[in-house]
Chain A
């Protein structure tokens, strides 16, 4: 496996240019500054590993949006698995970890809880739609699929969300906030 052909100065320049974008996006999805910082680092590791692909992007920011979205979705799923393990620990009589401190708006917690339980392609579209407030045409352009596909996936996401929410899955306590405070406009 060849070593990435990139030097430190080039990486620092990437941070100056795209760091704020990646961190903000990660924070919007994960709702936690510390998690967002770590996710940002993960994104840049991905950039370094796929440098030639990154350099070939005509819209690097769109590429970074996609990568950041996918990595954050993985984190949300990992977080869900951790919570489930903690719930099992509680069943065993052990103490679960304290829930995420601070008020979490119901709708945002709902979204994050559902994101952890649906297919990647549905979750991805839901983030662009609900977190980024993008319209279907813009999401289609970002993901390189037709607008019709986006509409179909959003419908499926809603069906899945209804199913998940109908199962009474607890999504509010530790689910976090998909959009950071002060970011809605």
Chain B
């Protein structure tokens, strides 16, 4: 049985003559990597070998298709983000091995104190958002834990993070509705590293009531907002499939840092 299957593998190999080219050689031809001796020999062979000419045409078509259809800017941006994450991970390994044993107690204490000062802001990846409210009757105030919001309130955020990046903020309510809170444009807006960095625009809350989860997404590249929305939609669908509320969505799965903030919207009390 095992011999039969091995023989089948051998039988699947392409039968070709000694002058026939592999895909690698055809790639090298297209990329100008063949020597002055290799190139004319291969071109002459392609003129007489239908099999190799067909393979070459297939590779050429795939290259054209990739150049025309692949979202190269996005792919490059994603690769840069992954690369930086990998670099960070490498640093983290160094820290774990050499520095963490010394700093772990102090670090844990600092993190505990820091998070205690920001109740209800769950961080996932090195940044937080501090919301504050612009009330229609005038004035602005920091949004405190459990403090209800009302339709018509304008919500604005401050960014706290040690890294600059490009920020998108979306919100998901209990009816599975996804809204973009920031930025107003189609591409994630740049944000500087720092403490309480004010974002440039506010969002006015609509008339829907109930709980909402606000998801901040900071990427190293200018990700299209639509990608964040699509990832959020997918995460909401995942939560719903598990029987959870839309506001309990999991991680978006983007190569970015995320943070969450829960708010509750209530009807405005009648004065």
Contact = CB atoms under 8 A, between A and B. Distances in A.
B196 to A, nearest CB: 27
B207 to A, nearest CB: 40
Interface of B is mostly: helix
B141 interface: no
A61 B28 contact: yes
A24 B54 contact: no
A20 B90 contact: no
A137 B119 CA distance: 65
Nearest to A21: B27
B76 A17 contact: no
Contacts of A106: 5, 8
A59 B28 contact: yes
B244 interface: no
Indicate the size class of the contact surface on chain A: 35 or more
A12 interface: yes
Contacts, number: 132
Given A3-B87, A134-B22, A44 B12 contact: no
Interface of A is mostly: helix
A48 B79 contact: yes
B2 interface: yes
Contact of A45 (B6, B59, B67, B86): B86
B91 interface: yes
A21 to B, nearest CB: 5
Interface string A144-169: 00000000000000100110011000
A158 B33 contact: no
Interface of B: 1-3, 5-6, 8-9, 11-14, 16, 18, 22-25, 27-28, 31, 33, 51, 54-55, 58-59, 62-63, 65-67, 70, 72-73, 75-80, 82-83, 86-87, 90-91, 221
Interface of A: 1, 3-4, 8, 11-12, 14-21, 23-25, 40-42, 44-45, 48-49, 58-62, 65, 105-108, 110-111, 129-130, 132-135, 138, 142, 158, 161-162, 165-166, 179, 183-185
